[in-house]
Amino acid sequence: MLRPPPAPLPTSRASLLPPPKAANPKTDPTPATSTNARVTPMGVAASWPRALGQRFNPGGVAAVVTVAASEPRLALPHVSVQDIRWVDWGELRRVGFRGVVFDKDNTLTAPYAPALWPSLVASFDQCRAAFPPGAIAVYSNSAGLKQYDPNGVEASAIEAVIEGVHVIRHDAKKPAGAAKEIESYFGCSASDLVLVGDRYFTDVIYGNRNGFLTILTEPLSFAGESYIVRKVRKLEAYIISYWYKKGHRPVKHPLLPDVRRIVKFDPYEDSVTS
């Protein structure tokens, strides 16, 4: 059963979406059929510097403070869903979006793992089918970030495991920084792209500040995620709830004034009927 959103919204999980028919992806033990489904967590030695670094993000803190003081709506996603299975990728393409940029950890994969979360494989395949080759990318605060992956080794490993994805190499942690590396890769403005992530104060703020359509998903797994990050998630949810109650609403996106168009009412239909 989906958790209720922080406050009632026309595009919230509660008002748009019925309870899912299939098992919760966080507890579904059924293995996916794709070869990309196997999740292989990274070793502790490889992952702990990133986990520690993600707790301390001075540029991100500055960006959040600026948003809180001047424009809280930049922290509010255009669409909130349980996971990417709720997204109609074909409709996003039809309305004019040219590509999709995913956060990695807890959006597509378990924290610091290279492979897709098993239950998301079919939806990712649908996304890949809806958009042309080269139109799906990952923009992560772990893989591809030069601070932790200076030679792009981790980024290349993910590209080898997840077919059809390009990991953007970049300098700044979300939510700080512009979208120049992403726009250079796609050859278009960020306003023509979709950004999908699981964090209000990193993914959503970064996406809205740079003009993306922002889609927020719930985290896939807390295993491997630090205690501090879990506490920060609760703080984010509390602040977001307060802003909703104060009347703040997401910014409108020019390509998609009605975001309900791209939310599936039955994302499990394909797997149930096939």
The Cα 271–Cα 22 span in angstroms is: 9
Q: Is residue 46 part of a domain?
A: no
- Cα 79 from chain centroid? 11
pLDDT of residue 266: 59
Q: Is residue 83 part of a domain?
A: yes
Q: Is residue 6 part of a domain?
A: no
pLDDT of residue 10: 36
Q: Is residue 179 part of a domain?
A: yes
Q: Which among 220, 218, 215 is positioned nearest to 263, based on CA atoms?
A: 215
SS3 percent helix, strand, coil of the chain, rounded to 5, is: 40, 10, 45
Q: How many CB atoms lie within 10 A of CB 160?
A: 10
pLDDT of residue 59: 66
Q: Is residue 89 part of a domain?
A: yes
DSSP-assigned letters across all residues of 175-224: TSS-SHHHHHHHTS-GGGEEEEES-IIIIIHHHHHHT-EEEEE--S--TT
Q: Which among 202, 214, 196 is positioned nearest to 251, based on CA atoms?
A: 214
| pLDDT 10s digits, 9-39 | 333 433 343 333 333 434 443 333 333 433 3
Is pTM beyond 0.95? Reply is: no
Q: Which among 89, 97, 262, 79 is positioned nearest to 188, based on CA atoms?
A: 97
Whole domain around residue 179: which residue ranges? 78-246
Residue type at 162? I
Q: Is residue 60 part of a domain?
A: no
pLDDT of residue 12: 40
Residue type at 59? G
Q: Which residues pair with 88 in a beta bridge?
A: none
Q: 181 and 144 in contact (C-beta within 8 Å)?
A: no
CATH number at residue 188: 3.40.50.1000
- Regions of the chain short of the pLDDT cut 70: 1-60, 265-274
Q: Is residue 15 part of a domain?
A: no
Q: Is residue 214 part of a domain?
A: yes
Number of domains in the chain: 1
pLDDT of residue 17: 39
pLDDT of residue 61: 75
The Cα 143–Cα 105 span in angstroms is: 9
| pLDDT 10s digits, 72-90 | 999 999 999 999 999 999 9
